[in-house]
């Protein structure tokens, strides 16, 4: 850079927060040592639909250490509670993410089993949990709606996928199908899933007069601030949200739910700071999940593989509180070139907790269907699945006709296939073996949009030479502390060790939530811009800048004050000119026991084009993590709900199976270098979500190759392969 220093961006630097994380020093939401903190425990409903008739709190109130019991009867009425009582959503009632409707003890309605209906506050965690178990509620119970296969569909006008329309129509699928010689027409399903970050959602709420501080486990400090403020009838400046470390989120912590505001209400009631940590069981229902999807995919092709028609209809469930759409057809609108593409969403209201963004929302469940169907088509055509995809390669966005800001999917296929040894595949099902085990090789395409939002950053030069950079973003495991330090260091031409990047506090400039893979692009662009502006300002004050002047001198020239700049960096016209997406290819080997149907995934090879890789080490980890999620999605994960009571049945980590170490083999991650001059000033597209997309299909396709058994319902449990 200016001083000839090698750029740190791209280098596989160790995480700057690594030391804190390996020593137990990183502090998560429930770990702030506030004086005199009291403990709150949420009481949840035991029916799925109806009304709370009465809550007997007498035993709990008499229990040792209990300070308060909040119920729908006695909870403070919230001026800003926009939640309605009729069950229809109030769009944007709570700010981003849209349409979230919390349950804040403002009425006696029960919408799902496990819904918060009370809060017990006591002096210790033990007293609070014991007392919460003493609260007994009685209900007037209605028959819950729980079966997505038999429940009625929502009126179409209530189906509003984020950032898109309910239906899309490009050409005419009916005529495209008429022209097809080979067709695939199948239904694929994905089950309810829950995020289960390792850190449970947690809040410490502390009032100071009419100001509230929330120590929060969140991916979005700003949306928590705005929403909680609104619910409580406060202006946002009265609420401060702090989150220096968040123990994973994967979407469930993208915005606030009910517990943050409930903690604030409890703290107000007992006039002490209150700590509220959800139990693992309460992570099922009250804090979102991936909805069930039923996806009908129809493909038509000519003998050479050219797609004449693509139709993808996805029906997913929502709750009776909100209308939330899993955008499972999103990739179908843009992934393959076909003259005729139609997609459609439908919603079904069930008495379950509200669904929300869950890692690769839309694209992960959607690519399972589309990329399984493509594999079926490849077999029907007797064509190599990679060749089929190349045949239908979209040189421009088929939906909008816009050019890609960059796309290296062709190189991804080639790189992945070469690293995997795809050319040695015998395509005949059950043809490959390793001893007794059936070997299956499958592949699928990965894709996820490259988004960017407005973001702010303050950068300061301190007298001791430290560059202090602040942005109100979040560290949820993506390496934000590290990559932002690298961006700032390169822009200023200083070593990374001189940069102190701070985040996670709403006193800092506003940034988007760490969801949808936007952080690197949005906050990264802002940090870059702020650092460049700081550099210019320093140059103005002291020609030659940091290379020729000491920080102390520069600060002295600035009247003894730290040199400071604040910027807000926004996406521009390029958003309209280009279609911006990451792409990749996933190649998977599975081993299947021919008798016991035990499926293992010893090897996954991926190749992705994600724009500029900011840190080769952390980016690799993110993509590997995405693959691990894909393995879970493909083989293990499903939230079971009792079809009579709506009770979450496997609401723990023993029976809700996320992958353990032994479920994961080698994951060989490749990056295809991309130079994207359009997507944003730093050329990054984001790596958080794309890693999971395509993986489930790639595994399902490999299972088919291994066994000859096409499983169209996730997860691929052994009985589905045995049968």
Instruction: For residue 269, give Cα distances in angstroms to 121, 228, 411.
Output: 9, 16, 60
Length of the chain: 723
Report the relative pairing of strands 66-70 and 455-461 from DSSP bridges: unpaired
Asked if residue 2 binds another protein (CB under 8 A), the reply is no
Under DSSP, is residue 213 helix (H, G, I), strand (E, B) or coil? Answer: strand
Sheet bearing 239-242, strands edge to edge: 66-70, 116-122, 38-44, 274-277, 202-208, 211-216, 239-242
Nearer of residues 65 and 248 to ligand FES, judged by Cβ: 248
Kindly state the smallest distance separating residue 301's Cβ from another protein, in Å: 35
Under DSSP, is residue 253 helix (H, G, I), strand (E, B) or coil? Answer: coil
Nearer of residues 477 and 659 to ligand FES, judged by Cβ: 477
Residue 595 binding: pick among ligand FES, another protein, none (C-beta 5-8 Å cut-off by kind): another protein
Asked if residue 158 binds another protein (CB under 8 A), the reply is no
Please list every residue from 176 through 215 that binds ligand FES, using CB under 6 A. Answer: 198
CA atoms of 218 and 198, how far apart (whole Å): 13
Asked if residue 455 binds another protein (CB under 8 A), the reply is no
Kindly state the smallest distance separating residue 184's Cβ from ligand FES, in Å: 38
Residue 242 binding: pick among ligand FES, another protein, none (C-beta 5-8 Å cut-off by kind): another protein
Q: Which of 107, 133, 167, 187 forms a contact with another protein (CB under 8 A)? A: 133
- Contacts of 486 by beta carbon, 8 Å cutoff, 6+ apart: 8, 9, 11, 13, 496, 614, 615
Nearer of residues 281 and 575 to ligand FES, judged by Cβ: 281
Q: What is the DSSP string of 612-678?
A: S-SBHHHHHHHHHHHHHHHHHHHHT----B-TTT--BSS-STTTS----GGG--EEEEEE-----SS
Kindly state the smallest distance separating residue 247's Cβ from ligand FES, in Å: 6
Give the count of beta carbons closer than 10 Å to the beta carbon of residue 499: 26
Q: Taking the mean position of all CA atoms in its chain, how far away is CA 210?
A: 33
Concerning whether 689 is annotated as a catalytic residue, the answer is yes
Nearer of residues 197 and 571 to another protein, judged by Cβ: 197
Closest by alpha carbon to 307, among 390, 247, 224, 243? 390
Kindly state the smallest distance separating residue 657's Cβ from another protein, in Å: 5
Q: Which of 350, 565, 658, 687 forms a contact with another protein (CB under 8 A)? A: 658
Nearer of residues 180 and 667 to another protein, judged by Cβ: 667
Buried b (16+ CB within 10 A) or exposed e, 155-192: eeeebbbeebebebebbebeebbeebebbbebebbbbb
Residues near another protein (CB under 8 A), total: 130
Asked if residue 717 binds another protein (CB under 8 A), the reply is yes
Stretch that binds another protein, among 299-307, 335-343, 403-411, 636-644 (CB under 8 A): 636-644
Kindly state the smallest distance separating residue 668's Cβ from another protein, in Å: 9
Kindly state the smallest distance separating residue 280's Cβ from ligand FES, in Å: 8
Q: Which of 3, 53, 56, 74 forms a contact with another protein (CB under 8 A)? A: 74
Asked if residue 77 binds another protein (CB under 8 A), the reply is no
CA atoms of 143 and 502, how far apart (whole Å): 50
Asked if residue 53 binds another protein (CB under 8 A), the reply is no
Residue 504 binding: pick among ligand FES, another protein, none (C-beta 5-8 Å cut-off by kind): another protein
| Contact (Cβ atoms closer than 8 angstroms) between residue 30 and residue 277 | yes
CA atoms of 522 and 504, how far apart (whole Å): 15
CA atoms of 216 and 274, how far apart (whole Å): 12
Asked if residue 574 binds another protein (CB under 8 A), the reply is no
CA atoms of 658 and 639, how far apart (whole Å): 11
CA atoms of 225 and 238, how far apart (whole Å): 9
Asked if residue 22 binds another protein (CB under 8 A), the reply is yes
Asked if residue 169 binds another protein (CB under 8 A), the reply is no
Nearer of residues 198 and 428 to ligand FES, judged by Cβ: 198
Q: Which of 82, 171, 248, 562 forms a contact with ligand FES (CB under 6 A)? A: 248
Please list every residue from 182 through 211 that binds another protein, using CB under 8 A. Answer: 196-200, 206-208
Please list every residue from 205 through 244 that binds another protein, using CB under 8 A. Answer: 206-208, 213, 215, 242, 244
Residue 649 binding: pick among another protein, ligand FES, none (C-beta 5-8 Å cut-off by kind): another protein
Helix (H) or strand (E) holding 63: none
Kindly state the smallest distance separating residue 197's Cβ from ligand FES, in Å: 7
Stretch that binds another protein, among 2-10, 182-190, 700-708, 714-722 (CB under 8 A): 714-722
Nearer of residues 565 and 667 to another protein, judged by Cβ: 667
Give the count of beta carbons closer than 10 Å to the beta carbon of residue 240: 18
Q: Is 382 exposed, middle or buried (0-12, 13-18, 19+ CB in 10 A)?
A: exposed
Nearer of residues 375 and 475 to another protein, judged by Cβ: 475
Asked if residue 124 binds another protein (CB under 8 A), the reply is yes
Of these residues, 399, 475, 674, 689, which one is catalytic?
Answer: 689
Tokens 């190189």 correspond to 411
Residue 64 binding: pick among ligand FES, another protein, none (C-beta 5-8 Å cut-off by kind): another protein
Nearer of residues 134 and 347 to another protein, judged by Cβ: 134
Kindly state the smallest distance separating residue 266's Cβ from ligand FES, in Å: 24
Q: Is 65 exposed, middle or buried (0-12, 13-18, 19+ CB in 10 A)?
A: middle
Asked if residue 688 binds ligand FES (CB under 6 A), the reply is no
**CA-based angle 589:416:197, to the nearest 5?**
65
SS (H, E, C) 505-526: ECCCCECCCCCCCCHHHHHHHH
Residue, CB closest to ligand FES: 198
Asked if residue 671 binds another protein (CB under 8 A), the reply is no
Q: Which of 477, 516, 611, 691 forms a contact with ligand FES (CB under 6 A)? A: 477
CA atoms of 719 and 723, how far apart (whole Å): 6
| Contact (Cβ atoms closer than 8 angstroms) between residue 483 and residue 495 | no
Asked if residue 338 binds another protein (CB under 8 A), the reply is no
CA atoms of 719 and 657, how far apart (whole Å): 16
Asked if residue 94 binds another protein (CB under 8 A), the reply is no
Under DSSP, is residue 380 helix (H, G, I), strand (E, B) or coil? Answer: helix
Stretch that binds another protein, among 247-255, 341-349, 527-535, 673-681 (CB under 8 A): 247-255
Q: Which of 155, 423, 543, 654 forms a contact with another protein (CB under 8 A)? A: 654
Nearer of residues 19 and 153 to another protein, judged by Cβ: 19
Asked if residue 536 binds ligand FES (CB under 6 A), the reply is no
Asked if residue 271 binds another protein (CB under 8 A), the reply is yes
Site for ligand FES, rule CB under 6 A: 198, 248, 477
Catalytic annotation, residues: 689
């Amino acid at each position: 850079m200016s001083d000839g220093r090698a750029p740190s961006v791209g280098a596989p630097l160790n995480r700057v927060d690594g030391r804190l994380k390996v020593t137990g020093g990183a502090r998560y939401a429930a770990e702030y040592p506030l004086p005199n903190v009291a403990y709150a425990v949420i009481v949840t409903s035991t029916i799925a639909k109806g009304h709370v008739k009465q809550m007997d709190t007498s035993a709990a109130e008499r229990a040792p250490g209990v300070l308060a019991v909040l119920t729908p009867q006695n909870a403070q009425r919230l001026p800003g509670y926009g939640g309605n009582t009729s069950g229809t959503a109030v769009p944007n009632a709570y700010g981003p993410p849209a349409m979230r409707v919390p349950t804040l003890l403002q009425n006696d309605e029960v919408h799902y089993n496990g819904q918060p209906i009370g809060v017990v506050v006591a002096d210790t965690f033990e007293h609070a949990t014991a007392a919460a178990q003493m609260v007994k509620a009685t209900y007037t119970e209605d028959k819950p709606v729980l079966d997505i296969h038999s429940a009625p569909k929502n009126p179409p006008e209530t189906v509003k996928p984020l950032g898109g329309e309910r239906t899309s129509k490009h050409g005419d699928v009916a005529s495209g199908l008429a022209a097809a010689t080979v067709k695939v027409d199948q239904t694929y399903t994905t089950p309810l899933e829950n995020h289960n970050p390792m850190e449970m959602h947690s809040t410490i709420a502390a009032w100071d007069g009419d100001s509230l501080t929330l120590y929060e486990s969140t991916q979005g400090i700003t949306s928590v601030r705005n929403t909680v403020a609104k619910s409580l009838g406060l202006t946002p400046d009265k609420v401060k949200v702090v989150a220096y470390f968040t123990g994973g989120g994967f979407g469930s912590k993208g915005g606030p739910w009910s517990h943050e505001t409930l903690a604030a209400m409890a703290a107000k009631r007992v006039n002490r700071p209150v700590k509220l940590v959800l139990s693992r069981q309460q992570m099922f229902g009250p804090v979102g999940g991936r909805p069930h999807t039923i996806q009908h995919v129809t493909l038509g092709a000519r003998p050479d593989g050219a797609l004449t028609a693509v139709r993808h209809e996805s029906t997913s469930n929502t709750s009776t509180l909100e209308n939330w759409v899993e955008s499972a057809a999103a990739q179908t609108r843009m992934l393959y070139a076909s003259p005729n593409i139609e997609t459609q969403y439908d919603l079904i209201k069930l008495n379950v907790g509200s669904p929300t963004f869950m890692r690769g929302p839309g694209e992960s469940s959607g690519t399972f269907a589309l990329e399984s169907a493509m594999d079926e088509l490849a077999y029907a055509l007797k064509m190599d699945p990679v060749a089929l995809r190349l045949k239908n390669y979209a040189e421009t966005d088929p939906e909008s006709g816009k050019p890609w800001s960059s796309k290296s999917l062709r190189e991804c296929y080639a790189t992945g296939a070469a690293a995997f040894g795809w050319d040695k595949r015998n395509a005949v099902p059950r043809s490959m073996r390793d001893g007794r085990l059936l070997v299956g090789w499958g592949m699928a395409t990965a894709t996820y949009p490259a988004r960017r939002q407005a973001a702010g950053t303050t950068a300061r030069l301190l007298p001791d030479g430290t560059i202090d950079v602040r942005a109100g973003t979040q560290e949820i495991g993506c390496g934000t502390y590290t990559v932002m330090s690298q961006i700032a260091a390169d822009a200023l031409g200083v070593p990374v060790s001189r940069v102190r990047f701070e985040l996670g506090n709403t006193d800092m400039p506003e940034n988007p939530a760490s969801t949808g893979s936007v952080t690197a692009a949005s906050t990264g662009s802002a940090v870059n811009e702020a650092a460049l502006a700081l550099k210019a300002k320093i140059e103005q004050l002291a020609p030659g800048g940091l290379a020729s002047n000491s920080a102390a001198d520069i600060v002295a020239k600035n009247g003894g004050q730290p040199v400071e700049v604040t910027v807000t960096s926004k996406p521009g016209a390029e958003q309209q000119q280009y279609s911006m997406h990451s792409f990749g290819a996933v190649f998977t080997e599975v081993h299947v026991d021919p008798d016991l149907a035990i499926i293992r995934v010893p090897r996954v090879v991926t190749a992705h084009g994600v724009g500029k890789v900011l840190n080769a080490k952390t980016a690799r980890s993110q993509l590997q993590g995405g693959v691990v999620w894909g393995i879970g999605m493909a083989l293990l994960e499903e939230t079971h709900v009792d079809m009579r009571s709506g009770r979450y049945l496997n609401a723990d980590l023993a029976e809700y199976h996320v992958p353990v170490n032994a479920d994961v083999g080698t994951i060989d991650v490749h990056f295809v270098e991309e130079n994207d001059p359009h997507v944003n000033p730093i050329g990054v597209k984001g790596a958080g979500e794309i890693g999971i997309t395509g993986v489930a299909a790639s595994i399902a396709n490999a299972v088919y190759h291994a066994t000859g058994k096409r499983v169209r319902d996730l997860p691929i449990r052994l009985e589905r392969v045995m049968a």
